[in-house]
Amino acid sequence: MSGNGHDGHPHEELRHESSPWAARIRAVEELLVEKGVFTHEEVRAQIEHTEARTHENGARLVARAWVDPEFKNLLLSDTKAACSELGIDASGPVELAVVENTERVHNLIVCTLCSCYPRPILGRPPDWYKSFAYRSRAVREPRAVMREFGLELPEGVEVVVHDSTADLRYMVLPARPPGAEGMSEEELAALVTRDSLIGVAIPREPARTQ
């Protein structure tokens, strides 16, 4: 799936000179700099901070939840507090929620209106997440969409689709894969893929030793 989308973060458009937003954003930025609201250096620093976030933050949260039941409860009930415990900056007005996959329920995340995404814990969204094809089909035919990513769920598993909004963003807590017993948090985090945190895939299986 591919396509273009707008997720409410216009600074990304600055990378594309042909964007209709680019000149407008630069003009507003120059005006605010001139008025002393912030400096160009502060803008660049904030952009770099945002760009540095990746799905590895989400993977760390999942790995800790797999080994620590109390932390798992915190992650599901107060995601921002769980982030703070691991030193992940998830501050801001946007709320974050984590939904757990079980033997009977599999969760899938989408934003049908644009491409709202939990950037503090997953970084930038993939292009396919922002595409019209994904945003429209994930709700109507989620199993077909997951099948295209290589995920075939048993018929008895209920698929629950969560629609992110400007005020609330979701992340999936995938099930711990079989054979991952005794692994360290770092090793467990390496099994967690970005796609498994969105719900179109499941974590990697541990490498088998001879």
pLDDT, one tens digit per residue, over 133-172 is 999 999 999 999 999 999 999 999 999 999 999 999 999 9
Considering its fold, how many domains does the chain have in total? 2
Same domain, 96 and 124: yes
Same domain, 46 and 138: no
Cα–Cα distance between 139 and 143 in angstroms, integer? Answer: 9
Same domain, 27 and 62: no
Same domain, 164 and 101: yes
Same domain, 44 and 133: no
| pLDDT score of 51 | 52
Cβ(160)–Cβ(105) below 8 Å? yes
Same domain, 39 and 74: no
pLDDT band (50, 70, 90) for residue 27: confident
pTM: predicted TM-score of the whole model, two decimal places? 0.77
| pLDDT score of 30 | 73
Q: Is the pLDDT of residue 71 over 90?
A: yes
Same domain, 67 and 140: yes
Cα–Cα distance between 96 and 119 in angstroms, integer? Answer: 10
Same domain, 34 and 120: no
Domain with residue 64: its CATH number is 3.90.330.10
Cα–Cα distance between 2 and 122 in angstroms, integer? Answer: 19
Q: Is the pLDDT of residue 11 over 60?
A: no
Residue 5 in domain: no
Residues classed as catalytic: 111, 114-116
How do beta strands 168-173 and 95-100 pair? Answer: parallel
List the domain range (segments joined by +) for residue 139: 54-198
Cα–Cα distance between 210 and 208 in angstroms, integer? Answer: 7
Same domain, 62 and 33: no
% pLDDT > 90, the chain: 71
SS3 148: helix
Of 95-99, 107-111, 170-174, 178-182, which gets the smallest average pLDDT?
A: 178-182
Same domain, 77 and 107: yes
pLDDT band (50, 70, 90) for residue 15: very low
Q: Is the pLDDT of residue 206 over 50?
A: yes
Residue 31 in domain: yes
| pLDDT score of 58 | 97
Same domain, 41 and 134: no
Q: In this structure, what is the dihedral angle of CA atoms 125, 127, 130, 135, given to the nearest 10 degrees?
A: -110
| pLDDT score of 110 | 98
Q: Write the pLDDT tens digit of every residue in 161-183.
A: 999 999 999 999 999 999 999 99
Q: What is the mean pLDDT of the chain?
A: 85
Residue 4 in domain: no
| pLDDT score of 5 | 35
Same domain, 29 and 91: no
pLDDT band (50, 70, 90) for residue 31: confident
Cα–Cα distance between 68 and 74 in angstroms, integer? Answer: 10
| pLDDT score of 35 | 74
Tell me the two tokens of residue 184.
């360290």
Distances (CA, A) of 78 to 69, 70, 109: 14, 12, 18
Average pLDDT value for residue range 185-196? 98
The DSSP H or E segment spanning 140 is: helix 132-140
pLDDT band (50, 70, 90) for residue 20: low
Cβ(163)–Cβ(111) below 8 Å? yes
Residue 124 in domain: yes
Q: Is the pLDDT of residue 13 over 80?
A: no
